[in-house]
Amino acid sequence: MKLPKILAREEVARSALFRIEALELEFSNGVRRRYERLPDSGHRAVMLIPITEDDKVLLIREYMAGFHAYRLTLPKGAVDAGETLLEAAQRELREEVGLRAERLTPLKTLSVAPGHMGFSITAVLAEGLTPDPLPGDEPEPLTVVPWPLDQLPALYSLDDFDEARAIAALQLAALHLADRP
């Protein structure tokens, strides 16, 4: 398919974290529309699926400003300037869970609301975990919550575990692990 032609592009708002851009588009059939979006900032991010030797995934409970609530999720964070994706994954795991991974396996890059946001995050499986904490940048200590991998449906039914990216990342990890001999 042919991409719509961008007739005009305008920044309509900016904050410390986000930029909102309006696009005036013309589609191949002549229809014109205005879209507002959070464009791709060029910054990459990682989401970790840390798996223990006894087949538990290590979740974190953290404050989510979007909902003004504490939620269960997976450790995650931005790739800093000069870092590779796997270096950032290792650092975030050490900062948020206090562990280092012997093996880091990128599973898939996931998008979030691609109709309005140019943001993506790479799900990374973390295995062979050993203690090696780093001070984090969170405003308060995170609570680590181990969850048995064979009980993911029960996790998905919890009201405080609802982040689509975390659910998708766990499913990718479960499929990856099931393919192993």
Instruction: Give per-residue burial for 32-67: e unless 16+ CB within 10 Å, then b.
Output: eeeeebbeeeeebbbbbbbbbeeebbbbbebeeeee
| pLDDT confidence band for 43 (50 / 70 / 90) | confident
| % pLDDT > 90, the chain | 84
What would the mean pLDDT of 32-57 be, rounded to a whole number?
93
pLDDT at residue 59, as a whole number? 98
- Does residue 25 contact residue 31 with C-beta atoms inside 8 Å? no
Q: In the predicted model, what is the mean pLDDT of the chain?
A: 94
The identity of residue 51, as a single letter, is I
The tens digit of pLDDT for each residue in 73-82 reads 999 999 999 9
The tens digit of pLDDT for each residue in 67-109 reads 999 999 999 999 999 999 999 999 999 999 999 999 999 999 9
For 56-117, where are the alpha helices, taking DSSP H only? 85-96
- Does residue 124 contact residue 48 with C-beta atoms inside 8 Å? yes
Q: Which helix (H) or strand (E) holds 100?
A: strand 99-111
Beta-sheet strand order (sheet of 56-64):
69-73, 56-64, 143-148
The tens digit of pLDDT for each residue in 155-172 reads 999 999 999 999 999 999
- CA gap 89, 96 in Å, rounded: 11
Residue 181 has pLDDT above 80, yes or no: no
Residue 145 has pLDDT above 80, yes or no: yes
Residue 42 has pLDDT above 80, yes or no: no
Instruction: List % helix, strand, coil for the chain (3-state, nearest 5).
Output: 20, 45, 35
> Tokens for 133?
């904490």
pLDDT at residue 18, as a whole number? 85
